[in-house]
């Protein structure tokens, strides 16, 4: 049932039916919590954060995503962490922090390559849209520089950076 509810939630989100997406994802999260499936709950929460962002609930999305990022980190789940950081990058597009976006995408790409977890095409389309918006705003050279710096972030720096939006070397 976990995959059915997740799939329905994702499909509804793709169609812009965010209320329905939220309902399916929340039902899934509730069921997974009852079963004690912590990782499943975290994945559901990260997806729910992305839905909240698309609904325009930026503060809620940020709270959910920061929590998911911190908990994926605690659990050592790099796949979930890359997913949640990609969603957090989208949040920083909305809140107009383009350099943060480029750094997070850079880290996510480097991490995904390291663990052998390429971004699914449907998720890549969202990231490509974020990259296009960034390049239009700051230019390709500035994007590439920030992206390259992001690829060099440590795991701890990436988590701290995603949660705060502040450069970790300050």
Residue 90 binned pLDDT confidence (cut-offs 50, 70, 90): very high
User: To the nearest 10°, the Cα dihedral for 94, 6, 76, 65?
Assistant: 20
Q: Which of 67, 51, 69, 56 is nearest to 14 (CA)?
A: 51
- Residue range 12-23: average pLDDT? 96
43-53 confidence digits (pLDDT tens): 999 999 999 99
All structural domains of the chain, each given as residue ranges with its CATH number in brackets, are: 2-164 (1.25.40.10)
Whether 135 contacts 112, CB under 8 Å: no
Instruction: Report the chain's C-alpha Rg in angstroms.
Output: 15
Q: Which residue has the tokens 């663990």?
A: 115
Q: What pLDDT score does 170 carry?
A: 43
113-143 confidence digits (pLDDT tens): 999 999 999 899 999 999 999 999 999 999 9
How many CA atoms does the CB half-sphere of 128 hold within 13 Å? 7
Largest CA distance in the chain: 48
Q: What pLDDT score does 58 carry?
A: 96
Q: Which residue has the tokens 């990609």?
A: 86
Give the tokens for residue 72: 């994926």
Q: What pLDDT score does 166 carry?
A: 66
- Residue range 137-161: average pLDDT? 94
Residue 163 binned pLDDT confidence (cut-offs 50, 70, 90): confident
């Amino acid at each position: 049932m976990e995959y059915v509810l997740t799939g329905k939630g994702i499909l509804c989100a793709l169609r812009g039916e965010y209320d329905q997406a939220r309902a399916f994802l929340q039902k899934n999260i509730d069921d997974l919590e009852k079963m004690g499936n912590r990782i499943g709950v975290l994945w559901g929460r990260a997806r729910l954060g992305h839905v909240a962002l698309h609904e325009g609930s930026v503060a809620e999305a940020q709270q959910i995503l920061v929590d998911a990022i911190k908990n994926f980190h605690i659990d050592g789940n790099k796949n979930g962490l890359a997913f949640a950081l990609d969603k957090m990058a989208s949040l920083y597009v909305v809140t107009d922090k383009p350099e943060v976006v480029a750094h997070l995408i850079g880290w996510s790409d480097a991490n995904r390559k390291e663990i052998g977890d390429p971004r699914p095409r449907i998720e890549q389309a969202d990231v490509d849209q974020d990259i296009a918006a960034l390049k239009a705003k700051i230019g390709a050279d500035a994007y590439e520089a920030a992206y390259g710096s992001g690829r060099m972030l440590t795991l701890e720096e990436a988590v701290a950076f995603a949660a705060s939006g502040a450069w970790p070397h300050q």
